[in-house]
Amino acid sequence: MTHLKEISVAGGCFWGTEHYFKQVAGVVETEVGYANGHVENPTYEQVCTDLTGFAETVHVTYDPAVVSLGFLLQLYFKAIDPVSVNQQGHDKGSQYRTGIYYTDPGDLPAIEEVYSEEQKKYSQPLAVEKLPLDNFYSAEEYHQDYLDKNPSGYCHLPKSLFDFARSAKV
C-alpha–C-alpha distance, residues 25 and 121, integer Å: 26
Task: Give the CA radius of gyration of the chain.
Answer: 15
Whether 17 and 58 have beta carbons less than 8 Å apart is answered as yes
- For residue 126, the model assigns a pLDDT of 98
- For residue 65, the model assigns a pLDDT of 96
- For residue 170, the model assigns a pLDDT of 72
The residue extents of the domains of the chain are 5-167
Residue 40 has pLDDT above 60, yes or no: yes
CA angle 21, 90, 35 (to 5 degrees): 50
Amino acid at 85: V
pTM across the whole model = 0.96
Find residue 11's DSSP bridge partners: 98
C-alpha–C-alpha distance, residues 55 and 33, integer Å: 8
- For residue 1, the model assigns a pLDDT of 54
**pLDDT tens digit sequence for 56-100:** 999 999 999 999 999 999 999 999 999 999 999 999 999 999 999
Of 18, 58, 32, nearest to 165 by C-alpha is 18
Active-site annotation holder among 10, 13, 73, 126: 13
Q: Is 155 a catalytic residue?
A: no
Q: What CATH number is given for 5-167 in this structure?
A: 3.30.1060.10
Q: What is the DSSP string of 66-134?
A: TS-HHHHHHHHHHTS-TT-SSEETTEESGGG-EEEEES-GGGHHHHHHHHHHHHTT-SSPP--EEEE--
- For residue 169, the model assigns a pLDDT of 82
**pLDDT tens digit sequence for 112-170:** 999 999 999 999 999 999 999 999 999 999 999 999 999 999 999 999 999 999 999 87
